[in-house]
């Protein structure tokens, strides 16, 4: 485990100067060409129960991004926040994990986001190998629920080169707002080039599912015990998913927190890719406060793997406390 982590870190450290030169969260140049040529991440998965429902975290990988991607970033505050959170701090680049989750019920297998295309960075694209390691075949997935359609959440859905679907039996559920936003001609035309690159990747990944999709309004129930929760800001239709069974709860919150070392202590720090930064910050504060008050277990796509834990109020802002191992699995 340790050698793997170090290997991934070293690889990303070598890549860092090029990556840091780009202001975008993810670089999209030649993603299709690069896909499959990157070293596959060693598969990691972790299961736990929420009542009768099994939730499996899948590690897609990690990426390093410059702190300049957080408009409110302050070096001294960031260092202090990371220290309080017992997290590594490097002023040159933040390490951001990418996770997907799979919900396994008696008669359903639902993917909640699908990781990143391998072409976005050599340290990404492990979602399918993690899925296989968890013993789940792609054709067993009957539904893909997307918290929002960004490239690092739709990566496992299709082959960028051939356009072939990689989850052949899956039906897609996402918000009506975000689907429309993704394919909006005017939004695309008015976006900077690197954002257009992101739209290109997302469109290529989700368009093959055009004829088998259900577009919802956040708040809707998508299966017994699975209720969506509106969390607008990061994207207009961004949403979480509340899993409820046998008196237990889990809130999978998508991209509510992107940089866990800093944003729990500083929930007002937005991220470059937040579509509406003020709305994203307001949503983040509201959901963190609710999670701390209710004591609900949370999970997130950019929390350090496996991302299961709890939110507590802290001396400054909030703190994340990892959930204990679930021995019921």
Nearest residue (CB) to Zn ion, 54 versus 152: 152
Nearest residue (CB) to Zn ion, 245 versus 283: 283
Q: Applying CB under 5 A, which part among 49-57, 149-157, 277-285, 312-320 lies near Zn ion?
A: 149-157
CB of 96 to Zn ion, least distance (A): 8
Q: How far apart are CA 20 and CA 36, in angstroms?
A: 23
Among 35, 60, 152, 274, binds Zn ion (CB under 5 A): 152
Taking a C-beta distance cutoff of 8 angstroms, is the pair 245, 223 a contact? no
Please state, in angstroms and as integers, the Cα–Cα distance from residue 298 to each residue in 50, 106, 241, 326, following that order: 11, 22, 10, 14
The answer to whether the Cα torsion of 273, 271, 152, 240 is positive or negative is negative
3-10 contacts, C-beta under 8 A, 24 or more apart: 4/42, 8/41, 8/61, 8/62, 8/123, 9/95
If one asks whether residue 178 binds Zn ion (CB under 5 A), the answer comes out as: no
If one asks whether residue 60 binds Zn ion (CB under 5 A), the answer comes out as: no
Binding pattern for the stretch 203-242 against Zn ion, x by CB under 5 A and - elsewhere: ----------------------------------------
Q: Applying CB under 5 A, which part among 51-59, 121-129, 254-262, 289-297 lies near Zn ion?
A: 254-262
Please state, in angstroms and as integers, the Cα–Cα distance from residue 198 to each residue in 85, 154, 155, 195, 273, following that order: 31, 11, 11, 5, 10
CB of 205 to Zn ion, least distance (A): 14
Please state, in angstroms and as integers, the Cα–Cα distance from residue 182 to each residue in 36, 62, 201, 204, following that order: 25, 24, 10, 11
Q: How far apart are CA 329 and CA 312, in angstroms?
A: 26
The answer to whether the Cα torsion of 195, 234, 151, 179 is positive or negative is negative
Nearest residue (CB) to Zn ion, 38 versus 198: 198
Half-sphere exposure of 306 (CA within 13 A, CB side): 20
Binding pattern for the stretch 95-134 against Zn ion, x by CB under 5 A and - elsewhere: ----------------------------------------
Nearest residue (CB) to Zn ion, 44 versus 150: 150
Task: Decide: helix, strand or coil at residue 248.
Answer: strand
CB of 175 to Zn ion, least distance (A): 15
Kindly state the number of chain residues that form the binding site for Zn ion, as judged by CB under 5 A: 2
CB of 159 to Zn ion, least distance (A): 21
Nearest residue (CB) to Zn ion, 31 versus 223: 31
Pairing relationship of beta strands 221-223 and 213-216 according to DSSP bridges: unpaired
Nearest residue (CB) to Zn ion, 146 versus 291: 146
Binding pattern for the stretch 255-274 against Zn ion, x by CB under 5 A and - elsewhere: x-------------------
Q: Which residues bind Zn ion (CB under 5 A)?
A: 152, 255
């Amino acid at each position: 485990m340790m050698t793997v982590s170090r290997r991934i870190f070293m690889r990303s450290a070598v890549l860092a100067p090029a990556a840091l030169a780009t202001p975008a969260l993810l670089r999209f140049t030649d993603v299709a060409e690069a896909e499959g040529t990157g070293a596959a991440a060693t598969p990691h998965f972790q299961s736990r129960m929420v009542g009768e429902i099994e939730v499996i975290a899948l590690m897609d990988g990690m990426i390093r991004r410059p702190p300049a991607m957080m408009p409110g970033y302050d070096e001294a505050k960031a260092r202090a926040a990371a220290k309080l959170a017992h997290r590594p701090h490097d002023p040159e680049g933040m390490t951001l994990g990418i996770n997907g989750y799979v919900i396994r019920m008696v008669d359903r297998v639902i993917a909640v986001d699908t990781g990143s295309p391998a072409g976005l960075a050599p340290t990404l694209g492990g979602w399918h190998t993690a899925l296989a390691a968890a013993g789940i075949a792609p054709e067993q997935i009957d539904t893909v629920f997307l918290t929002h359609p960004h490239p690092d959440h739709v990566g496992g859905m299709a082959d960028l080169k051939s356009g072939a679907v990689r989850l052949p039996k899956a039906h897609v559920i996402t918000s009506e707002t975000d689907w429309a936003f993704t394919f909006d001609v005017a939004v695309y035309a008015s976006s900077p080039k690197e954002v257009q690159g992101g739209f290109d990747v997302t469109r290529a990944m989700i368009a093959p599912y055009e004829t088998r999709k259900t577009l919802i309004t956040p708040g809707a129930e998508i299966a017994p015990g699975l209720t969506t929760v509106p969390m607008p800001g990061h994207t207009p239709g961004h949403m979480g998913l509340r899993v409820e069974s046998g008196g237990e709860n889990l809130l999978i919150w998508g991209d509510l927190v992107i940089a866990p070392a800093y944003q729990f202590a500083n929930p007002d720090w937005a991220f470059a890719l937040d579509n509406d930064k003020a709305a994203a910050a307001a949503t983040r504060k509201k959901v963190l406060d609710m999670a701390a008050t209710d004591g609900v277990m949370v999970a997130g796509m950019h929390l350090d793997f496996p991302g299961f834990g709890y939110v507590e109020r802290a001396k400054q802002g909030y703190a994340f406390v990892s959930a204990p191992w679930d021995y019921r699995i």
